[in-house]
Amino acid sequence: GKADPLNVMIAGAPASGKGTQCELIKAKYGLVHISAGDLLRAEIATGTDNGKQAKEFMEKGQLVPDEIVVNMVKGRLLQPDAQEKGWLLDGYPRSYSQAMALETLGIRPDIFILLDVPDELLVERVVGRRLDPETGKIYHLKYSPPENEEIASRLTQRFDDTEEKVKLRLQTHYQNIESLVSIYEDVIVKVNGNTTVEGVFGEIEKLLTSSLDKKTEMVTKH
């Protein structure tokens, strides 16, 4: 039989590099990338009621209530593409109750990657971040500058990417991360996020490839 696809969760402080690594993981392993933050920003852009409510919490750097987030992510996760190709959950679950909602459905990752970056570096990463609205690509003015003038001129900034707001987001992160660490203790791996983008991806590649090998081995033995 065919091995089950890989299911991955990735967590870390704001601007620790989750989105950047997810672009690379998606390209190499073909997993379906599901970012809670991106789904919420899409709701805001469409102007839905959920989006309007969510924005109030995001502006304060707080978690958006479960009533909005849990079904939104669950709906995406249960779509056929994510089930067939495997999923990459980015920024979800972010609290004990969100993790429990998945546990109740029997949904667990093969591996839970926790990106580790010292707090002092996060502010600089946040204030220098820019996004290309056309491709969704993540840039940094200093560390990943745009390839040309045309891209540079259309880059945008997120409404919550200020020094003041990243501090609030960081507090929220530390209030919740310990409960996740205990739930996913058996599959959690800390990855040093304080090297180059390629360096971090190199570590992640080793982990994912070995997870995938284990799954394939299990299938061929049975």
C-alpha distance across the termini of the chain, in Å: 9
Could you tell me if 6 and 212 are in contact, meaning their C-beta atoms sit under 8 angstroms apart? yes
Q: Does 14 bind ligand AP5 (CB under 6 A)?
A: yes
> Could you tell me the CA-to-CA distances from 42 to 55, 56, 65, 136, 188 in Å, in that order?
11, 15, 17, 12, 29
Could you tell me if 110 and 9 are in contact, meaning their C-beta atoms sit under 8 angstroms apart? no
C-alpha span between 96 and 199 (Å, rounded): 31
Active-site hit among 125, 129, 130, 165: 129
Q: Does 20 bind ligand AP5 (CB under 6 A)?
A: yes
Binding mask 31-60 for ligand AP5 (x = CB under 6 A): -----xx--x----------------xx--
Report how many residues bind ligand AP5 under the rule CB under 6 A: 34
190 is catalytic: no
76 is catalytic: no
**Shortest Cβ 83–ligand AP5 spacing (Å):** 20
C-alpha span between 89 and 65 (Å, rounded): 18
Contact set for ligand AP5, span 55-84 (CB under 6 A): 57-58, 61-64, 69
Active-site hit among 41, 130, 165, 169: 169
With CB under 6 A as the contact rule, the residue among 89, 200, 204, 208 that binds ligand AP5 is 200
Residues annotated catalytic, as ranges: 18, 94, 129, 158, 169
